[in-house]
């Protein structure tokens, strides 16, 4: 992997070579595509990808050839986190790039991209956090709290009271409603759910690729809903629970204004309304809640939208899941308490399956993570518990009228990593409050 023959490997190359996980194997293969003497054959690499991998008009070989022109490459950093991984490479002239991989549950490559490295500077104060997030045309919000037995202690807040679209954060509320149903005996973890064309959604996740009629346990489906942010998994669970059951549980799960989420949309419905026939989309904007519920019944059926159809932002039409940052804190804290009461450990395994960042378990032995995105929307949230059992929650949100202003999430993820590594969360509430008072608008 090193571009200088016979030279000692970098520390990152050594870490990549030592990783025996499926991600490590896939990352070595992907780096090898860039550093091997010759260009890989299209037919030889195809079995490594999911069938729906977007190869582009010229095939993957054309894309790969363009990437290889930026080399020769040296591995500078390797960050594996469960089914996702990021390899930082230095290329010709010292330019740096990020090779990003996402695997499906069987180890096939679902996403593989190479792009210029997104650089996030070191962040030492909350003021610096606010400054790095400020961008023309982008609304942002930050909330960091320390959890206590009585109420969260705010360490830093900007626009935390403002409802904003948050993409897949809605799955935390679906999980909370599922736990209500399990506790009440209405659903069992071993119950099976059946995939039908009407319940099939679009990625993220991999359940949309399963054949019609596939039966999957509630346990596995819930795991994929959180760990892979699987949209079809979330829709299967919502179908099992019923829309009204999820809506009825919103207040208990911590949402400050459940009317913002009524009717509670499935991912299938957001895709179909947002990027399908413009007629229903216009009707959605004009109708009240009762009219919108009727519209959802009218559009029920197999999805006709494809990933390539997604483009213009639709969150300002109400086609997303709106909540404020405090809502996210409350639902995460309630889920943590539910996990503490779950003697089977099922809830904890679901919530800790994907931590979102490569964090030291000696420092943070418990990490919950959820991301959310759609065109013009990006959100990351973490619940982290230290060795003493003290919990912290960090919520970062961005929204814009154009997706290009938001990017692919590497920047916001990098900000989250810098905040966690900086010690700002554990520095104390007094130091944090001086940055931006709670409720002050972020620009």
The string of pLDDT tens digits covering residues 421-443 is 999 999 854 444 433 333 333 33
Q: So what's the pLDDT on residue 7?
A: 56
Distances (CA, A) of 83 to 27, 229, 381, 394: 11, 11, 18, 22
The string of pLDDT tens digits covering residues 390-419 is 999 999 999 999 999 999 999 999 999 999
Instruction: Write down the domain spans for the chain.
Output: 11-116, 126-165+323-433, 190-320
Q: What is the CATH number of domain 11-116?
A: 3.10.450.280
Q: So what's the pLDDT on residue 433?
A: 42
The string of pLDDT tens digits covering residues 314-373 is 999 999 999 999 999 999 999 999 999 999 999 999 999 999 999 999 999 999 999 999
Q: So what's the pLDDT on residue 4?
A: 41
H or E stretch including 292?
helix 289-299
Q: In 3D, which of 165, 142, 124, 132 has the Cα closest to residue 437? A: 142
* Tokens 């810098």 found at: 418
Q: So what's the pLDDT on residue 8?
A: 64
What top-level class would CATH report for the domain 190-320?
alpha beta
Q: So what's the pLDDT on residue 65?
A: 94
- The CATH label, of 3.40.710.10, 3.60.20.10, 3.40.50.1000, 3.40.50.2300, for the domain at 126-165+323-433 is 3.40.710.10
For the chain, how long is the longest CA-to-CA vector?
70
Residues of the chain with pLDDT under 50: 3-6, 429-443
Q: Check if 11-116 and 190-320 are the same fold.
A: no
Rounded-to-10 torsion of CA 109, 355, 270, 303: 30
């Amino acid at each position: 992997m090193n571009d200088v023959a016979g030279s000692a490997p970098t520390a990152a190359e050594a870490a990549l070579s030592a990783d025996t996980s499926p991600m490590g194997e896939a990352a070595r293969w992907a780096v090898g595509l860039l550093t091997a003497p010759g260009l890989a054959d299209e037919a030889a690499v195809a079995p490594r990808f999911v069938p729906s991998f977007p190869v582009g008009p010229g095939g993957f070989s054309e894309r790969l050839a363009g990437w290889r022109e930026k080399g020769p490459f040296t591995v500078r950093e390797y960050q594996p986190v469960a089914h996702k991984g990021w390899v930082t490479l230095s290329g010709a002239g010292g330019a740096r790039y990020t090779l990003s991989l996402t695997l499906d549950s069987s180890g096939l490559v679902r996403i593989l991209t190479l792009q210029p490295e997104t650089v996030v500077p070191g962040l030492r104060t909350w003021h610096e956090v606010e400054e790095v997030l400020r961008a023309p045309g982008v609304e942002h919000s930050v909330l960091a709290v320390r959890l206590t037995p009585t109420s969260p202690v705010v360490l830093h807040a900007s626009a935390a009271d403002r409802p904003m679209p948050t993409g897949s954060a809605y799955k935390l509320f679906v999980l909370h409603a599922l736990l209500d149903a399990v506790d009440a005996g209405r659903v069992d973890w071993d119950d099976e759910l059946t995939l039908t064309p009407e319940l099939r959604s679009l990625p993220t996740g991999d359940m949309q690729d399963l054949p019609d009629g596939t039966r999957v346990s509630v346990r596995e489906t819930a795991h994929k809903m959180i760990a892979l942010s699987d949209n079809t998994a979330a829709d299967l669970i919502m179908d099992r629970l019923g829309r009204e059951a999820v809506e009825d549980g919103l207040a208990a799960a911590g949402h400050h204004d459940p009317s913002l989420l009524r009717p509670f949309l499935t991912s299938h419905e957001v895709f179909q309304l947002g990027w399908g026939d413009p007629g229903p989309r216009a009707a959605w904007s004009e109708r009240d809640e009762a009219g919108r519920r009727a519209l959802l019944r009218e559009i029920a059926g197999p999805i006709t939208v494809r990933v390539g159809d997604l483009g213009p932002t639709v969150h300002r039409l109400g086609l997303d899941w709106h909540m404020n940052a405090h809502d996210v804190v409350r639902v995460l804290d309630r889920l943590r308490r539910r996990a503490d009461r779950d003697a089977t450990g099922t809830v904890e395994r679901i919530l800790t399956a994907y931590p979102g960042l490569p964090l030291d378990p000696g420092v943070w032995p418990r990490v919950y993570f959820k991301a959310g995105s759609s065109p013009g929307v990006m959100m990351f949230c973490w619940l982290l518990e230290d060795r003493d059992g003290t919990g912290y929650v960090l919520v970062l949100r961005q929204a814009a009228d154009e997706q290009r202003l938001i990017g692919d999430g590497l920047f916001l993820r990098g900000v989250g990593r810098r905040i966690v590594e900086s010690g700002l969360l554990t520095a104390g509430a007094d130091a944090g409050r001086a940055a931006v008072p709670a409720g002050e608008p972020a620009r």
